[in-house]
Amino acid sequence: MSPVALPRRAVNWLRRSANSALIALALVVGVAAGFGAIAFRWLVETMTLIFSGHADYAAVTDHAPNPLVPWLGGFFVVLAPAVGGLIYGPIIHRWAREARGHGVPEVMYAINKRGGRIPAKVAFVKALASAITIGSGGSVGREGPIVQIGSAVGSSLARAVRLNESQVRLLVACGAAGGIAATFNAPIAGVFFAMELLLVNFAARTFAAVVLSSVTASVIARGFLGDEAFLVLPEFHVGHIYEYALYAILGLLAALVAIGFTKVLYWFEDVADKIWRGPEWLRPAVGGLLLGLLLLVLPQMYGVGYPVLENAVMGEYLIGFLVVLLLAKVVATSLTIAIGGSGGVFAPSLFLGAMLGSAFGQGLDALLPGAGINPGAYALVGMAAVFGGASRAPITAVIILFELTGEYSIILPLLLAVVISTMIATKLSKESVYTAKLRRRGVDLTSRPGTVALAGLSVSSLMRKAPKPLLTRMPAADAVDALLAAKRQSLPVITTHGEYVGVVTLTAAAAAVADDEDAGEVTVSQLTEWRDTVAPDQPVEEVLDRMLDAGAPDGLAVLDADGALVGWLRQDAVLKRMTVAV
Mean pLDDT of the chain: 85
CA–CA gap between residue 182 and residue 194 (Å, rounded):
13
Helix 346-367 vs helix 243-275: crossing angle, to nearest 10:
140
> Phi first, then psi: what are they for 460, rounded to 5°?
-60, -25
CA–CA gap between residue 114 and residue 49 (Å, rounded):
38
**Residue range(s) in the chain whose domain bears CATH number 3.10.580.10:** 451-581
Instruction: Give the model confidence (pLDDT) of 106-120 as tens digits.
Output: 888 888 877 788 888
The better pLDDT of the pair 550, 443 is held by 443
> What contacts 557, CB < 8 A, 6 or more positions away?
466, 492, 500, 503, 531, 533, 534, 565, 567, 568, 569
- The domain made up of 451-581 has a fold known as CBS-domain (3.10.580)
Alpha helices by DSSP H, listed for 276-374, are 283-297, 306-313, 319-338, 346-367
CA–CA gap between residue 186 and residue 402 (Å, rounded):
9
- The domain made up of 18-55+98-225 has a fold known as Clc chloride channel (1.10.3080)
CA–CA gap between residue 76 and residue 397 (Å, rounded):
36
Average pLDDT over residues 84-97: 91
Q: Specify the DSSP element, H or E, that contains 503.
A: strand 500-505
Count of Cβ atoms closer than 10 Å to residue 497 Cβ = 5
Any bridge partners for residue 491, and if so which?
504
Average pLDDT over residues 390-400: 91
Give whole-number Cα distances, 179 to 103, 205, 214, 287, in Å: 13, 20, 8, 29
Whole-model pTM? 0.83
The better pLDDT of the pair 222, 251 is held by 251
Four-CA torsion 359, 328, 395, 232, nearest 10 degrees = -60
CA–CA gap between residue 10 and residue 200 (Å, rounded):
31
Instruction: Give the model confidence (pLDDT) of 269-307 as tens digits.
Output: 999 999 998 899 999 999 999 999 999 999 999 999 989
Helix 306-313 vs helix 319-338: crossing angle, to nearest 10:
160
Average pLDDT over residues 348-361: 96
Q: Which of 352, 175, 336, 344 is nearest to 261 (CA)?
A: 352
106-120, 163-177, 267-281, 448-462: which is most confident: 267-281
Instruction: Give the model confidence (pLDDT) of 233-250 as tens digits.
Output: 666 777 778 889 999 999
- For the chain, give me the number of helices (H) and strands (E)? 24, 6
CA–CA gap between residue 306 and residue 138 (Å, rounded):
13
Exposed/middle/buried for residue 122 (C-beta within 10 Å: 0-12, 13-18, 19+): buried
Any bridge partners for residue 503, and if so which?
492, 529
Cα torsion angle, 230, 234, 238, 244, sign: negative
For residue 353, pLDDT beyond 80: yes
101-110, 220-229, 415-424: which is most confident: 415-424
CA–CA gap between residue 141 and residue 562 (Å, rounded):
52
Average pLDDT over residues 533-541: 83
CA–CA gap between residue 418 and residue 153 (Å, rounded):
32
Do 530 and 508 contact (CB within 8 A), yes or no?
Answer: no
CA–CA gap between residue 132 and residue 153 (Å, rounded):
21
Exposed/middle/buried for residue 203 (C-beta within 10 Å: 0-12, 13-18, 19+): exposed
CATH number at 243-280+302-440: 1.10.3080.10
Residue 351, pLDDT score: 95
For residue 16, pLDDT beyond 60: no
Four-CA torsion 504, 507, 510, 513, nearest 10 degrees = -70
Residue 50 pLDDT level (bands cut at 50, 70, 90)? very high
Residue 322, pLDDT score: 97
Q: Which of 381, 406, 379 is nearest to 311 (CA)?
A: 379
The better pLDDT of the pair 319, 564 is held by 319
Residue 459, pLDDT score: 82
CA–CA gap between residue 303 and residue 82 (Å, rounded):
14
Concatenating the DSSP letter of every residue in 186-222 gives: -HHHHHHHIIIIII----HHHHHHHHHHHHHHHHHHH
Helix 506-515 vs helix 476-486: crossing angle, to nearest 10:
140
Average pLDDT over residues 46-52: 95
Give whole-number Cα distances, 398 to 178, 385, 425, 518, in Å: 18, 8, 16, 46
Average pLDDT over residues 466-494: 87
